[in-house]
Amino acid sequence: MESTVGTITAARATALSLESVSRRHGRRGGGEVVALDGVSCTVPAGSFTAVVGPSGSGKSTFLQCAAGLDRPTSGTVRVAGTDLGALSEAALTRLRRDRIGFVFQSHALNLVPSLTIEENVVLPLVLGGADPADGRVLDRGRKLLDRVGLAGHGGRGPATLSGGQQQRVAVARALVTEPDVIFADEPTASLDPESATLVLDLLRDAVRTEGRTVVMVTHDPAAAGRADTVLTMDGGRLR
Ligand code: ADP
Ligand code: MG
């Protein structure tokens, strides 16, 4: 279900909103864990937001619910005006593929090892029905690899790249569909400081130069310092 005409203006201005979002997990033997406890926030389009907080404070749960990878127990999540809770599994899968970009913590989990890095970059387009042999698709993949400093390396396999290079490929892939929001969960956690800076520069650049929206979980104060807004989580709530 798409947003109605009346919400289109608001959808442009707000990339992501959470309204009283909670996520509870049943505990074996009774009781429950409240991973997310009534979180509300609004993320403007074209902004870079960092989500920080101690381990176990609900950062990953926040990201998973916001990105439509997990369904909240209660509350409403909207991506560019679309209420994720109103979508079928199939529609949610399409929305994630076409309108959301992901960069995960471990570079080892980000890329498909059997594909070249160029194929990895254009994978969301191909899964959306684009012809991988189409010149425009290939061109887009090459341009993005160029942008992340890997021009001419498109034919290589992920395993031949360093961790930092693999994370840069993951950023290129997250940008390929020109998504409404890019979510990153500790994207620099497994990287050396120099590679981490390169990856943060790319995310920052995507916000500055193309107006992309980035929401990044991090426990690195230097990484959080690159964001426009810092949301602090504690005990499943925003402080
Ligand atoms: P963070 O990313 O900040 O470390 P998480 O969002 O991973 O925090 O977890 C928040 C809380 O919810 C923690 O207490 C965690 O143990 C709990 N939790 C997360 N996922 C589950 C789950 N699938 N089942 C039970 N408890 C969970
Ligand atoms: Mg986490």
Pick the CATH number of 2-238 from 3.40.50.1820, 3.40.50.300, 3.30.1370.100, 1.10.3720.10: 3.40.50.300
* Gap from CA of 239 to ligand 1 centroid (Å): 17
Q: To test ligand 1's pocket by mutation, which of 27, 34, 60 has the most ligand atoms within 8 angstroms of CB? A: 60
Residue of minimum CA distance from atom 7 in ligand 1: 60
CA-33 nearest atom, ligand 1:
26
* C-alpha span between 165 and 183 (Å, rounded): 19
pLDDT digits (tens), the chain, 239 positions: 444 555 555 445 899 999 999 999 998 888 999 999 999 999 999 999 999 999 999 999 999 999 999 999 999 999 999 999 999 999 999 999 999 999 988 766 789 999 999 999 999 999 999 998 999 999 999 999 999 999 999 999 999 999 999 999 999 999 999 999 999 999 999 899 999 999 999 999 999 999 999 999 998 888 999 999 999 999 999 99
What letters, b where the CB count within 10 A reaches 16 and e where it falls short, cover 179-216? bbbbbbbbbbbbbeeebbbbbbebbeebbeeeebbbbb
Task: Describe the strand order of the beta sheet including 74-79 as a list of residue ranges.
Answer: 32-44, 14-26, 74-79, 82-83
Closest CA to 215 of 14, 16, 82: 16
Residue 196 CA, chain-centre distance (Å), reads 16
pLDDT of the residue at 72? 98
Sequence ranges of the domains in the chain:
2-238
Residue of minimum CA distance from atom 10 in ligand 1: 58
Which residues place a Cβ less than 5 A from the ion ligand 2? Answer: 59-60
